[in-house]
Structure 1
């Protein structure tokens, strides 16, 4: 039996961040990370296309929490303790400079996730954190104020235990053995599979300002929309997938969306089209792209409005004008299935938020048992927010344990 003061199960973002901060704040504590893989920090490695989207340039807690479909209320207090500015400072003190991109996402200036991984590994070494790979936890028991863990490579015991395993269903089962309830996981960041004439053959086209609604729900979002080989992606879709995770899972990912490509009402658009009918009378509709839409998308929507490539503005009848206005402002698409967004698989689900004390991230049911990161039922939209939750949770756990 190997004895430690603190054992952390899970060598991901939250686990490493907590371990380093515990060992730094209280060097007397013997800290170990048990990681089931042959290396840790896998999500850090692939995030942001291998660049690691460390956090998001949002510096007001009440604004930041709005990017969390689950956890919005609970994270407000924690973000007052440790948030974006603290994250930036933490990394800078350790020689990692971050930069802000136009959309608010923050990356290391090196544009490489390896920079973050190297920082964590060297800090862990410096503060004598034991990192044990290929240690898959089989059981967790509590006896006389100590936790004992059986792994694929031996037995460990500790006074304090942090679970930071993300959405690992096997560990969730072990936690349920401690009386905790777990919301069953459903995917939270995904793209929509759509087969439709209007978007075939135009992958890569981006409409910058769209509004998307899921029909027969209150779900809607706005932002850029990307047409892909299999359907639609980009922030407008990913936000919907996060906020609609539970509802869309119930529908087995078969539903209809309504898209307003130009963010104008049907009637306003119709009035503009009537003016264009006068002003561009001799030109073909197909060749005169309007509303700042990508040319290839305009072509598709024109053809879907009962016109051909030769139809001139002057020849448009009432029904064609109305068709075009509705394709631009209320286009209906059938979604049939989803695809994982890049390698960044995020799930909604995890330990019931009511069972965690968010001042310390300690279990309300068991003293000295802590949780951080996605193992709790917290998830966010894409853009660095899931990592910010990991850093905040890891830091607050560290502060609590190292006392």
Structure 2
């Protein structure tokens, strides 16, 4: 027996819920269902931002906001002029959730709990009469243009559904991409986008938890990044590394995650300048031990490690530094080479570069250019961003535009 709905949304994540709520708020007469393959909805929302849910970012200018998207920069410009971070704040406030801005621009619920966002969505769907159907794993989709019917038909393992409009909000689900490929949609091959670098190196082995403001570049590429870098038990993480992983998603995948990086621990000081600074210190701090105290904005532990790596012993005084030792230390400070062997997923926030080819989507409506009444929201399309609330902003914006169009 077929269950009939005006609109079916496949995917019970952030994009799916936001889209459903906005549609029914604008047109309460529509009968809308969300199909979710798991037993629980909004799982990614639950774990995002370390369980606090990084809802959006305090970047309110659409032309600036698009610069955080390695894939989708051009396509999102129009949509962000319709629904940007400021609109997100207003939307959540209207729905009883107050957001706050942290120092780095990330925005979280004041409650510091992702449960607040989940409750907001669940309460809204309940109030609006949206059917949330779990354990509905989509097996097949029948297109009305091909089946000769006037409705889309969706079959799960135990039910079948009919709907006039079908919205796919399944994130990076390979099975759904495969299904859409059979309908002629091109899928840009998915690769991981947010990940940390695995590095075994004696210079950082004893320093997990140490961070520094750095610039990093990947050898033999144009990939560069600046920002905080965090040393971890397995290598390097933090915004500077995650930015590189997002912008370099395809390049680093093609290198099989085996490559070299150069870290400038002094961020914007070059090697020549560093040498001069060290020569000045040799004069001014002649009697002091080099390794004892960091003269730069680096922790003493990191400084000591770089001093030792330059062939300078722990007992060496500034006055006794040779020309070669000064050159070595300047090199370690501004151009330290590290070998990356593999990657680790960043926390549980798995983001992929890849998905529906952007050329096949009308970004004024989020409708497929190939099939009428087929729409896309969120990460199912080939759009992804660096960490900081930007991937969620794409989900909200696409959901809003879609709801308006419908």
Match of 1:353 in 2: 358
Cα offset for 1:152? 1.4
- Please give the per-residue CA displacement for 1:309-363, whole angstroms capped at 9, x wherever unaligned: 1011111001000000000001000000000000000000000000000000000
Cα offset for 1:153? 2.1
Aligned counterpart for 1:309 among listed residues 311, 314, 320: 314
Question: Is 2:59 the counterpart of 1:58?
Answer: yes
Question: Is 2:112 the counterpart of 1:111?
Answer: yes
1:247, 1:163 → 2: CA distance? 28
Aligned counterpart for 2:393 among listed residues 382, 388, 402: 388
1:388, 1:301 → 2: CA distance? 40
1:63-142 map, 5 Å: 63-142=64-143
Match of 1:259 in 2: 263
Give the TM-score of the pair, scaled to structure 2. 0.98
Cα offset for 1:94? 1.0
2:44, 2:69 → 1: CA distance? 19
Question: Is 2:12 the counterpart of 1:11?
Answer: yes
2:107, 2:248 → 1: CA distance? 25
1:220, 1:36 → 2: CA distance? 39
Cα offset for 1:395? 0.8
Give the TM-score of the pair, scaled to structure 1. 0.99
2:361, 2:130 → 1: CA distance? 26
Match of 2:21 in 1: 20
- Please give the per-residue CA displacement for 1:257-307, whole angstroms capped at 9, x wherever unaligned: 001110201000100100100111111100031111111110100000001
Cα offset for 1:79? 0.2
- Please give the per-residue CA displacement for 1:210-269, whole angstroms capped at 9, x wherever unaligned: 100001000000000000000000000000000000000000000000011102010001
Match of 2:40 in 1: 39
Cα offset for 1:184? 1.1
Match of 2:210 in 1: 205
Question: Is 2:222 the counterpart of 1:221?
Answer: no
2:68, 2:128 → 1: CA distance? 34
Match of 1:164 in 2: 169
- Please give the per-residue CA displacement for 1:64-91, whole angstroms capped at 9, x wherever unaligned: 0000000000000000011101100000
Match of 1:330 in 2: 335
Aligned counterpart for 2:241 among listed residues 226, 237, 245: 237
1:220, 1:353 → 2: CA distance? 26
**Unmatched 5+ stretches in structure 1:** none
2:228, 2:26 → 1: CA distance? 43
1:65, 1:397 → 2: CA distance? 19
1:301, 1:50 → 2: CA distance? 36
2:133, 2:60 → 1: CA distance? 35
2:150, 2:72 → 1: CA distance? 30
2:211, 2:75 → 1: CA distance? 35
Aligned length: 400
- Please give the per-residue CA displacement for 1:36-59, whole angstroms capped at 9, x wherever unaligned: 000111111000100000000000
Question: Is 2:405 the counterpart of 1:400?
Answer: yes
* Structure 1 stretch displaced more, 136-145 or 314-323: 136-145
2:361, 2:79 → 1: CA distance? 12
Secondary structure of the residue aligned to 1:199 is coil
Aligned-CA RMSD value: 0.6
4+ long deviations beyond 6 Å: none
Aligned counterpart for 2:280 among listed residues 246, 251, 275: 275
Secondary structure of the residue aligned to 2:100 is strand
Secondary structure of the residue aligned to 2:33 is strand
Cα offset for 1:23? 0.9
Question: Is 2:344 the counterpart of 1:339?
Answer: yes
Secondary structure of the residue aligned to 1:75 is helix
